[in-house]
């Protein structure tokens, strides 16, 4: 479970307010789980719920109702009124894993799928998510190699004044020519760059090439 937009709370109101929010979230999650499981904070704004009273996937869906009702109630954090939501990934044993580490990894993949779907929702793990994650990791490695050894290109798009029909400038656009896959759309590699922190290096590379 990932608390949506928690970073915004830390950045705008400070870490003390953020910490108070996490404490209240943890208390509310524990009240929903009861004696059939436990809640653990994994780090940052991520929590894990291990629930042993699940016999079928429909049981998990029913559990989502009180969880979201609890999370979406307003929070009073040291005098600040805050509302938040959550993106939740779900893995169910034994179908999605035979040990806790595997279940947590698969739940994490499902959580990122929920975030990619627009947040404020939950997703069950599917094997295709694992395949997609492997593909994204491979693409990340190739992007790092392209940044270090070449393969990136700057394409220039003119900016035209509609009134005079004159070119008033140009826009520098990053393009990636992969040695195996050919041209890769920015819509595919820019999100990976943002997630991995490579976006700053890419921006600096474009500025150097454009100048």
Residues marked active site are found at 45
What is the CB-side half-sphere exposure of residue 17 using CA atoms within 13 A?
18
Q: If DSSP codes are grouped into helix, strand and coil, which group holds residue 1?
A: coil
Angle at 73 between CA 71 and CA 74, to 5 degrees: 115
CB 206 within 8 A of CB 147: no
For residue 95, list its beta bridge partners: none
Q: If DSSP codes are grouped into helix, strand and coil, which group holds residue 166?
A: strand
Task: Calculate the CA 173 to chain-centre distance.
Answer: 25
CB 88 within 8 A of CB 112: no
- Round to the nearest angstrom and report the end-to-end CA distance of the chain: 44
User: Which residue pairs from 68-74 have beta carbons closer than 8 angstroms and sit at least 24 positions apart in sequence?
Assistant: 70/28, 70/29, 70/31, 70/32, 71/3, 71/25, 71/28, 71/29, 73/28
Helix ranges (H only) for 86-185 are: 100-116, 127-149
């Amino acid at each position: 479970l990932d608390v949506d937009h928690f970073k915004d709370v830390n950045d705008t109101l400070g870490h003390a307010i953020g910490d108070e929010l996490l404490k209240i979230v943890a208390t509310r999650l524990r009240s929903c789980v009861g004696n059939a499981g436990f809640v653990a904070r994994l780090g940052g704004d991520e929590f894990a719920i291990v629930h042993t009273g699940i016999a079928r996937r429909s049981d998990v869906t029913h559990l989502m109702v009180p969880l979201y009702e609890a999370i979406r109630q307003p929070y009073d954090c040291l005098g600040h009124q805050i509302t938040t939501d959550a993106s939740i990934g779900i893995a169910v044993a034994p179908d999605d894993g035979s040990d806790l580490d595997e279940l947590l990894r698969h739940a994490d993949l499902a959580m990122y799928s929920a975030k990619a779907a627009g947040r404020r929702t939950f997703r069950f793990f599917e094997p295709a998510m694992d395949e997609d994650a492997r593909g994204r990791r491979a693409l990340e490695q190739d992007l790092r190699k392209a940044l270090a050894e070449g393969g990136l290109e700057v394409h220039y798009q003119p900016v035209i004044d509609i009134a005079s029909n004159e070119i008033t400038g140009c826009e520098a656009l990053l393009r990636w020519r992969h040695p195996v896959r050919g041209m890769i759309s920015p819509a595919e590699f820019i999100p990976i760059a943002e997630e991995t922190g490579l976006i700053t290096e890419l921006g600096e590379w474009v500025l150097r090439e454009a100048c």
